[in-house]
Structure 1
């Protein structure tokens, strides 16, 4: 899931800031962790993007003319069908596999199969096929810089979500509350070359494509069609996306999902949130590997 790499990135970032041992199972984020130079620079740049968006690009009213994705009526039932197959497949993989060297290829095959299935369904369900779904290959390159800008504009919200989690955690669980470092972090730092390459491909390419097709392409499109509002589709999808992840990461992942959903509605291209997701996960992996040096 996306939160796996999100946790890696943020925990590695906090490890650098707090100068903690990267091999510890848990770490406490210091109160001034959000005042480090990197966070200040990224937040400042992101706030500038937000101000420009608010005053020059219509702000929250920018989606009034969002492209309409016309599809067959029965399409609205497919998201739940895909979700059931996905969760069921993961449970089977978790039950029958005992090592990462088996579970990662199995999960990769599962998600690639579901990606193929979703593309077939979208091609048959949308007016203009995959182009109407938001997958027009001629816009792939032009969406790259916009994806980076959209992700940058979302960063202050992501960081504020982290701050909310840490503040609430310390309020209800005491000053010793900390964010847990995922125990499988060693896969990227200690695993063999073959498994490491597979994990990187899985996390940086397969997961972003799969999750954006499912959550943005299927769920958000269906919810927008049922509600008649792009923002309702974005918010409801983001709530659902966030609650599928660990509770302490729900606020930050909700904001990230809203940024991904907005990018889809504003551009009409599914390539933009896919690229944002790839950039985010790629940055997470890069930070993990660099911090392990």
Structure 2
């Protein structure tokens, strides 16, 4: 039996994280703390970059956008997850599910593009330092960031429009804690082939292009650093890339594990835990990575704290 999703009354049931109420309460407390730190850390980093003139550079312009994306990325899944952990009926309307999935696509795609833009910025700074301020002009940085968001919007429109044309079977139970694409397609009664092609095409294009930019940029950076004669010069060059490389490894490692692995029976619980990592933990860790490993951010923060006393 199938139900056409054109009905405004169509609802999905999210299985969530656990059926154990005591564990759900513990997870609620843990996720709430993680979300609070995520919002505070990322918005704090955005404000710090805006008020500190020494951080008004292309690298920190991209970093402020990454922090903004991390807040948005976490906010589309975590608040609903917190509510569902303490709710007996973990329902979401069809339109609410499509909105959550669509925003997830936008911010996930934009974050891939921003990370690639940051790699290109580091390449220009290390490999072409004399042309850096010309190459990474304010206009070009704005265009790069606009392209990052536009790419995410195009992916969202293509995939979400296709999914809204599907019909879904009863019971409409999503084996996840948010409306992700794979568990949604698993519920489709109509043939999801076109949607699957769009998902692979849009996601694959974003992933391949961003990874290629990152790999080519860092290959060029590595070759340039190896040509630096002094050890201190090499260490300084590596230190400017360490935070970004850490963020790239965490984000791409978890997303690739989730979306590129073959389907396996009984792997839903493991996939949910990995999803927690990249939807909640990585957005919390990014500001810590960039503040703890970045001397310029530390100096700017200390200067502001001294002025506030």
Asked if these proteins are the same fold (TM beyond 0.5), I'd say no
Task: With the length of structure 1 as denominator, give the TM-score of the two structures.
Answer: 0.29
TM-score under structure 2 length normalisation: 0.28
Q: Tell me which structure has the larger Cα radius of gyration.
A: 2
Greater relative contact order (CA < 8 Å, ≥ 6 in sequence) = 1
Which structure's residues are more often helix, by fraction? 1
